[in-house]
């Protein structure tokens, strides 16, 4: 976890240089990465890949402002992406101007709390049905 944190927050390069961090979800969850990106006040694109393309989460100064997952956008897309357990990711620094129209207005902490609640609720329902 700390090595990923160091990669994400290390060295502030020039604006002309595009910084990209890649990894997989073997040792860190999407929720953990969202927390790190938020704390780091990043303006970036967090892309997630599985067997096929999964989705994107856009950050502006550490706040989640837009998400896309297949046909979904906004909160529904964000919550789906937080459920991902396997796959790979890219984190790419981007200029704020390249962020699509904002579809998410909740604080990142509230998004993570809501996502954790939804994931736990789904898990509990699955366990009751088995």
| Whether the Cβ atoms of residue 27 and residue 89 lie closer than 8 Å to each other | no
What is the model's pTM?
0.83
Contact residues for 127 (Cβ-Cβ < 8 A; gap 6+): none
Q: Tally the domains of the chain.
A: 1
Distances (CA, A) of 77 to 56, 85, 96, 103: 9, 15, 20, 10
Distance (Å, rounded) from C-alpha 74 to C-alpha 112?
14
Helix (H) or strand (E) holding 75: helix 75-82
Q: What range does the domain containing 32 cover?
A: 2-129
- Residue 78, classed as helix, strand or coil, is helix
pLDDT tens for the chain, 130 residues long, are 455 555 555 544 444 457 899 999 999 999 999 999 999 999 999 999 987 778 999 999 999 999 999 999 999 999 999 999 899 999 999 999 999 999 999 999 999 999 999 999 988 888 877 6
């Amino acid at each position: 976890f700390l090595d990923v944190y160091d990669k994400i927050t290390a060295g502030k390069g020039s604006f002309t240089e595009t910084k990209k961090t890649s990894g997989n979800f073997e040792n860190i969850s999407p929720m953990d990465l969202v927390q790190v990106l938020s704390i780091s006040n990043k303006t970036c694109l967090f892309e997630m890949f599985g067997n096929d393309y999964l989705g994107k989460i856009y950050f502006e100064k550490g706040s989640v402002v837009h998400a896309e997952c297949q046909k979904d956008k906004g909160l529904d897309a964000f919550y789906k992406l937080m459920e991902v357990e396997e796959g790979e990711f890219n984190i790419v620094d981007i200029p704020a101007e390249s962020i699509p129209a904002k579809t998410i207005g909740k604080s990142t902490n509230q998004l993570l709390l809501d996502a954790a609640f939804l994931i736990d609720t789904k898990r509990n329902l699955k366990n009751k049905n088995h």
